[in-house]
Structure 1
């Protein structure tokens, strides 16, 4: 079987991932990986609590540095494994739940309700009842939610702990758009005219979550929340906590130059000024009209110099309009507990996805396709592509007749098991140092945050991937 090899006019553009020591250890133990995929099938998600705890502690160190009351709520939606959830609670932190099932699982696992919050975008009656019965703080987003919660508390006779979600902040005369939350003015009116007079609806704090990764926008939002806190305080109403949500950047890549080069060369490829970098020259969200490009690729910013705990610290040290002190001092002076809801950033380096090669073939245009025993929903997020180089592990030596030919580098695309033309695991063209063989393993690095579970589906009746954790004794245990 003949396959396309590297050509002289094609320059490989690597995107080298940062790799945690535990991942290197697992990847170097190829017999463990082969046995695990044989036992649990392909794809297999292998994870570790070590980076998760490191990330929690890094955030805590920032809060401790500025002597802030705080709590970190792990955003459970980023990964469904209960092991992260229970470990967050063991570390004294909390869990942000986004559905009835997530909250019920946390309670069944024995997590203290004081360490749980409900931020579900749609809150059903049974979710409200579960939260109220257990004293879990509920983030209220709209009046219909509040009306439903009021009915639930009236029937149960129990008090509900409420944090109001706010949005629509003003920045330089423009409104930061969001489909979530009350305006600052509406939130103030709601507290003053309803919540403080209601026997079963207890106002405890404020909450917001901003889309994107702008530190100045977060600082503006915090400043306007503090102004609301002060306005309520003038009416003898205390705000106990301010939850500023998630969205703390993760740095996936080891080389800034590689990231910048890829972005610029992608645009050149879309303009057909160089060989394609993606399947059929997919622009990854860039719009091309009459040979002019508009916008940027709709992908996660995989390289970032300010990320995770450093991103949080930059927020806390920002100044805000109307105050002569940085945010951390404003919060400390008011004795407000600051809360955050990181998901991806707590899962940075915590997981890998391993898939087995099923076939090699050419499409009608002559592109090499390497089929994997997985589907694209099993490693997918909202980013147009996952821009990290995978690791190729050969599981069997080539025969002597194949050794010379198949040891040459090849370019190709990784495709999945759904019966769709667009069924690609990665859209980016990948350089393999030699032709993958059937049975080889492909390892995708740093997939625990949103990549494994957020969009996974069971179309074609495919089983969901098994989730196992790598222990200190180098064994694997199934997540329960």
Structure 2
């Protein structure tokens, strides 16, 4: 809900609190983060693999409940940590990759080639070669890419290429991804003429936004395309709807209040953001719930929901979530190393940069507000609005432009813990600016509490990707 008190002036400060998360709250209460900050000497990220497992299980359960044959791929671009790919290998899930490095990472951490889908535009020859050699599924984005694939030595000498043909969404005709109807017709003809060199397994699309309806409509169109492709003698038994399953970070009331009340005075230096540019930090259906809504949606012109259409036509549904699999699977920790008083608010300077909160990449703001872990408990509760800047020499390098209403006075040495940053936030943009080292990633494993004994502090280890860096 909106905060209605302030340190002075009678101003109100909209609040965007993170949803409750018992696993993260256990870590916060353990005292482990303060020790890690001291030991590591700078900012770091913590990862919670149990949350990933829970999200994956929920999506699989949703497919099973809808009686739909489906397969879940983790979109690797959403986080570079090795632990997520290791969880995919352990649980037989797939990985969505878009580069040679990502493909090697997936294979090197135990994911079978057959469980990898290769996406992205204009794939390099080396990527296509390795993908075919390992039996990965390749989402072909253009006719020249299909020609390059058919010309690879691996296709000619070793095994057929497994391909999906990516469609240009009719509702987003200016997208740079996918093929037009005419290009798809030509691509199908080339797949037929390629004979045993290609196994054309179906279609895919890349659709911006998070609305369920447009995804269901386009998925139904791809099912119809599969039936027509089968008439040409092609396998065409699966479709990929990509990602786009939203995550809900905060409650509906707080989100509505923030959007209604926020203005330039709530941000450092009068910074303004278009509300439409913010990620939808509250969603009435999210994660596996959004997948269930997609399957139960009734496409126009069909007398049954998408799930029934998929079953009737024998089409497997492929999904490629990133953020939705990483919901509540980690956070980012910074220590305050400077506090500057301004007119009615403070500017906190932390031992890191906004490159570790990638929403700035989209000229937007990561709105779920950080938790303050004070080193002492001397102050009485109050409302202390503060923006959060980086320890760099750039005027625009702020982790949080918004004046966050902290309930205790932030002081040098306190920790700020940004919640739920595993999905597309903590490492998409990171670089060693100012020669500062990249924040390490710490994996926190659940420790079962022995019966009749006190709770055991969570155990931690470095992510294997960090250890190799």
Question: TM-score over 0.5 for the alignment?
Answer: yes
Q: Cα deviation per residue 1:188-234 (whole Å; 9 max; x = unaligned)?
A: 33112444434423211211120001211111211211221121222
Scaled by the length of structure 1, what TM-score is found? Answer: 0.88
Aligned equivalents of 1:221 and 1:385: distance in 2?
A: 31
Q: Does the 8 A contact of 2:122 with 2:141 survive in 1?
A: no
Q: Does the 8 A contact of 1:390 with 1:442 survive in 2?
A: yes
Aligned equivalents of 1:330 and 1:259: distance in 2?
A: 35
Structure 1: which 5+ residue stretches go unaligned? 271-275, 287-295
3-state SS of 1:427 partner: strand
Q: Cα deviation per residue 1:122-164 (whole Å; 9 max; x = unaligned)?
A: 4112111211221111111012222222221367612211111
Of 159-168 and 146-155, more deviation after overlay is shown by 146-155
3-state SS of 1:429 partner: strand
Shift of 1:89: 2.5
Corresponding position: 1:335 with 2:314: yes
3-state SS of 2:308 partner: helix
Aligned equivalents of 2:110 and 2:208: distance in 1?
A: 32
Of 61-70 and 233-242, more deviation after overlay is shown by 233-242
Name 2:10's counterpart in structure 1.
Answer: 9
Corresponding position: 1:71 with 2:71: yes
Q: Cα deviation per residue 1:381-404 (whole Å; 9 max; x = unaligned)?
A: 336111112111112455xxxx68
Name 2:454's counterpart in structure 1.
Answer: none
Aligned equivalents of 1:236 and 1:100: distance in 2?
A: 31
1:355-434 paired onto structure 2 within 5 Å: 355-362=334-341, 367-381=345-359, 382=362, 384-396=364-376, 409-434=383-408
Aligned equivalents of 1:212 and 1:154: distance in 2?
A: 37
3-state SS of 1:452 partner: coil
Shift of 1:118: 0.9
Name 2:257's counterpart in structure 1.
Answer: 261
Shift in alpha-carbon separation, 1:125–1:197, aligned structure 2, 3 A = closer
Q: Cα deviation per residue 1:75-107 (whole Å; 9 max; x = unaligned)?
A: 010011111112122212101012111100111
RMSD across aligned C-alpha pairs, in angstroms?
2.0
Shift of 1:317: 1.5
Aligned equivalents of 1:193 and 1:150: distance in 2?
A: 9
Shift of 1:19: 2.9
Aligned equivalents of 1:188 and 1:319: distance in 2?
A: 27
Corresponding position: 1:278 with 2:295: no
Scaled by the length of structure 2, what TM-score is found? Answer: 0.90
Q: Does the 8 A contact of 2:9 with 2:344 survive in 1?
A: no
Aligned equivalents of 2:155 and 2:373: distance in 1?
A: 59
Shift in alpha-carbon separation, 1:458–1:434, aligned structure 2, 3 A = same
Q: Does the 8 A contact of 1:162 with 1:204 survive in 2?
A: yes
Q: Does the 8 A contact of 2:120 with 2:141 survive in 1?
A: no
Name 2:101's counterpart in structure 1.
Answer: 101
Shift of 1:279: 1.4
Q: Does the 8 A contact of 1:184 with 1:225 survive in 2?
A: no
Number of residue pairs matched?
446
Shift of 1:366: 7.4
Q: Cα deviation per residue 1:340-374 (whole Å; 9 max; x = unaligned)?
A: 000000000000111111111246x6752110001
3-state SS of 1:330 partner: helix
